[in-house]
Amino acid sequence: ETGVTQTPRHLVMGMTNKKSLKCEQHLGHNAMYWYKQSAKKPLELMFVYSLEERVENNSVPSRFSPECPNSSHLFLHLHTLQPEDSALYLCASSQVVAVSSYEQYFGPGTRLTVT
């Protein structure tokens, strides 16, 4: 296990449901990230928070809504998802110094299935 935890580990939801993914890092880092990884596809960066401020939003549909209440916690709120949103959702954290990122550490991921 790493210093980044994610809950839940598995989630099945209908297209009309609302759910939230939670990420917590215990590494004292100042930046957190959400990635999406679909089957046999590369990592897709969704959101970046640095010092609790959202610094990147890679054209992600509005049905995904991130929240970063402090430097240790990150949420991804989900609503009215589509079946193509089924994927592994990964959270990561890193230390950013002078707009330069050091290594990122990943949580175990949430396997999301949209029915």
Partner 1 sequence: QKEVEQNSGPLSVPEGAIASLNCTYSDRGSQSFFWYRQYSGKSPELIMFIYSNGDKEDGRFTAQLNKASQYVSLLIRDSQPSDSATYLCAVNDDYKLSFGAGTTVTVRA
Residues that bind partner 1 (CB under 8 A): 2, 31, 33, 42-43, 45, 48, 50, 55-56, 88, 90, 94, 96, 99-109, 111
Closest approach, Cβ 25 to partner 1, in A, equals 13
Beta carbon nearer to partner 1, 62 or 99: 99
Task: Give the type of residue at 90.
Answer: L
CA distance 67 to 76: 6
**Residue with tokens 């590369």, as numbered in its chain:** 42
Determine phi and psi for 55, rounding to 5 degrees.
-110, -10
Beta carbon nearer to partner 1, 14 or 57: 57
Q: Is the distance from CB of 24 to CB of 73 less than 8 angstroms?
A: yes
Closest approach, Cβ 80 to partner 1, in A, equals 26
Closest approach, Cβ 19 to partner 1, in A, equals 20
CA distance 113 to 104: 26
Beta carbon nearer to partner 1, 15 or 113: 113
Beta carbon nearer to partner 1, 15 or 97: 97
Helix (H, G, I), strand (E, B) or coil at 83: helix
